[in-house]
A and B are shown apart, each in its own frame.
Chain A
Amino acid sequence: MPNLGIEVLFRGTNLLRLLGGLWVAVRISLISTAISIFFGLMVGMLMVSKNKFLKLIFRLHLEIVRIMPQMVLLFIAYFGTTRVFGWNLPAEVSAVIVFSFWGIAEIGDLVRGALISIPVIQRESALALGMTQYQVYLYIILPQTIRRLVPLTINFITRLIKTTSLVMMIGIVEVLKVSQQIIEANRRTSPNAAFGVFAAVFLLYFLICWPISSLAGYLEKRWFQP
């Protein structure tokens, strides 16, 4: 049985540092999620409006984030803007900008999908019952839309958390960078640390994302299966 290098995790403050790194990743995704949901709701509502120009803009925005890898966007936001505009954005700010840019488009599209998926008959029936336009929106359309949205949005949040692992590429010290540092620092005493530490990071990400995505699956099952 070769040495798995797990003991490195329990030496000194290594485990705490790893968790601190994880917090950086989670913090970035929390801020980006909040921004994305707020503006995504607006974008989604605008996308079902009749304005052709707005629709085109948002469509283009969505296609850009769907096609460009997030890593490319990060590089543009962090290195590109410095060169072209002379902005000196901190790495964490550019990460939040990129993830929000991505999240607004994706959540906007989810909102759009949820809004148009409500059958027309719901609206017509409500009107036939004598509800005002405002009541129809508040009591009929909105609750159903939100119900459809919640599981999808939760799923998106896990994608966001997973994607934050890329921010080490623009110099943010998050969990992967910390684990590299720990491995380097203990190279002499435990040369096999890479196995144990990366396995730990793997599990940490799993422990964060799995409950969240299970919740989404559970809600979907409970709300949408007869």
Chain B
Amino acid sequence: MDMDVMISYLPLYLDALLLTVRIGWQGVLLAFFIGIPCATAVHLKIPAVKRVIQIYVELFRNTPLLVQLFFLYFGLPKIGIHVSAQFCGILGLGLLGGAYMAETFRSGLENIAPIQQESAQSLGMIPLQTFRYVILPQAVSSSIPGLLANVIFLLKETSVFSTISLLDLMFTAKDLIGMYAKTTECLLLLVIFYLILLLPVSLLGGFVERRLRYAEFGH
């Protein structure tokens, strides 16, 4: 183990971490923006839209991100659609995550007991009010653990970005190993930096899960 080497690599890893964070959070944000409306549309049973969303969700949930990225990055330019690697990464992460978020949020919406809806209606609420004040808050609180698990999953998936030549943590490690063959040091740094990236999110997940149970009975 060579401490000096590790210290000299630090700036490179830091840059890579920043890139991973930047693409990661944009992708996650996009995933939320795609996923939540999709789940809501499926829940409200909007005819044709529902079908299209279901196909999208099944397609992206059942294929690996790596294959999706290869298709977006290497495949699309062949039919004249050119996208930058970074945009590709964000889009890929957003599409994959959107499908997962939609699925999680949909099951949150579905798991609300029918009596909630019926009670709200019998109190004279219109459907929009029922959805806004009764269904939505409960669905959000019950699906938050799942949504946060998805965020961790998506941040982990950013490790495949190295294949479309984005200079993320994985790419940096691979590159440095290839150039200087300091395998142990590079891999140790890689582990440390992924811990820096993911441990806070994981801890936050546990914390939020304990705090956000307000919609359940007895809390």
Contacts and interface: CB of A to CB of B under 8 A. Distances in A.
A in complex with B: yes
Interface of A: 2, 4-5, 63, 66-72, 75-76, 79-80, 82-84, 158, 162-163, 165-166, 168-169, 176, 183, 191-195, 198-199, 201-202, 205-206, 209-210, 213
Contacts of A76: 187, 191
B190 interface: yes
A75 B173 contact: yes
B191 A72 contact: yes
A4 B79 contact: yes
B64 A162 contact: yes
Contact of A205 (B64, B78, B190): B64
Given A69-B157, A72-B190, A198-B70, A206 B62 contact: yes
Contacts, number: 111
A72 B159 contact: yes
B199 interface: yes
Contact of A210 (B62, B159, B163): B62
A213 B198 contact: no
A111 to B, nearest CB: 18
The DSSP consensus for interface residues of chain A is helix
Given A2-B79, A199-B75, A72 B64 contact: no
Given A199-B71, A202-B68, A205-B62, A83 B184 contact: yes
Nearest to A79: B183
Interface in B165-219: 170, 173-174, 177, 183-184, 187, 190-191, 194-195, 198-199, 202
A176 B70 contact: yes
A67 B194 contact: yes
B160 A166 contact: yes
A83 B183 contact: yes
Contacts of A2: 78-80
B159 A192 contact: no
A162 B183 CA distance: 27
B194 to A, nearest CB: 6
A194 B198 contact: no
A172 to B, nearest CB: 13
B104 to A, nearest CB: 13
B67 A210 contact: no
Contact of A194 (B74, B174, B184): B74
B76 interface: yes
A205 B67 CA distance: 9
Contacts of A213: 61-62
Contacts of A201: 67, 70-71
Given A4-B78, A72-B159, A202-B67, 12 more contacts: A66-B202, A67-B152, A67-B194, A68-B156, A69-B194, A162-B62, A166-B160, A191-B78, A192-B78, A199-B71, A201-B70, A205-B64
B190 A75 contact: yes
Nearest to B62: A209
B85 interface: no
B187 A75 contact: yes
Contacts of A191: 78
B152 A66 contact: yes
Contacts of A194: 74-75, 77-78
16 contacts: A2-B79, A66-B152, A67-B195, A71-B159, A72-B159, A75-B190, A80-B183, A80-B187, A162-B63, A165-B67, A193-B78, A195-B71, A201-B67, A201-B71, A206-B63, A213-B61
B42 to A, nearest CB: 14
Contacts of B15: none
B190 to A, nearest CB: 6
Contacts of A4: 78-79
Nearest to A67: B198
Interface in B61-95: 61-64, 66-68, 70-71, 74-80
Nearest to B190: A72
Contacts of A202: 63, 67-68, 71
